[in-house]
Structure formats: C-alpha cells, structure tokens
Amino acid sequence: MRGENLLVGANFASTGVDILNDTGVQFVNIIRIAQQLQNFQDYQQRLAAYVGEDATSERMSQSLLLITLGGNDFVNNYCLVPFSARSQQFEIHSYIPFIISEYKKVLAVIIINLFSYLPLINSQTCIIFASKHNCICKT
C-alpha cells in the first residue's frame, strides 16, 4: 500500500492462523501472526511517512483494531487434525496452560506496539507493562 491507499485502512488477516506457528499448516500460503503484526507496523510507518507522526497518531487513536485469536490453536491444531503433533505432545489439561502462556507473550507484544498510538498512555506506562510481562518496550 502506498499514497492515498494508506488512508483507507488495511486488513492483515490470514485465515487459519493463530498464535502457534504450526497452526494452519494444512492451509497454503498463510501469513503467520508474527508477519501480520510486522505488516501492521510497516503500515504505520508508511502512513507516518505519508501524513506525518501526529496525523498517524490521531488516525490510529480513532481507528478500529480487531484481532481475533483463540479458535484455530484449539480447533485446527489440536481437535480436528487427527493425530496432530500438538495432540500427541500434550494432554488437554496441559495444553491449555501452554496455550495461555503463548497467548500472554503475543498479547504483550500487541499491547506494547499499540501504546505509542494511544494518546493517553505514555512511555512510562509502556515500560512498566513491559517489565511486568517480561518483554521489551520500544519507546
């Protein structure tokens, strides 16, 4: 996306993916969650280069960001795929805490990346959040 197309918005979703990199392997040419998040960051940088940092912050603070996660790691990666690697690796009672810990890691990254575009949250809030959740804050 370039120029005025940046002003319309974007969709970075890819069907069948979720937090775990092996979720969705049965689909072809999917965009993993890490790449989707990188694409979102790239979009923000391109938008800032086009309209400026202040206008980008304003636009992002008024935007709808929808991230849907949760179903594919269970349904496509554990339940529906017969003898999936995850169902062989984990019993359901140990898979759930594993998934929760992976979600916490990714959600921390998502939240930290959004902090710079929320006008009421400053860099100190970002640093405190990062220290509590064992991740790095880019300010």
Q: Quick one: pLDDT at residue 94?
A: 93
Residue for token pair 């980008």 = 56
Asked if 68 and 17 count as a contact pair (C-beta separation under 8 A), the reply is no
Contacts 24+ apart (CB under 8 A), 104-107: 104/133, 105/135, 106/19, 106/33, 106/69
In a domain, 104, yes or no: yes
Q: Which amino acid is at 97?
A: P
In a domain, 24, yes or no: yes
Q: Measure the CA–CA gap between 49 and 39, rounded to whole angstroms.
A: 15
Question: What is the domain extent for residue 38?
Answer: 3-132
In a domain, 139, yes or no: no
In a domain, 138, yes or no: no
What is the tally of structural domains in the chain? 1
Q: Is the pTM of this model over 0.75?
A: no
Kindly give the parts of the chain with pLDDT less than 50. Answer: 119-121, 139
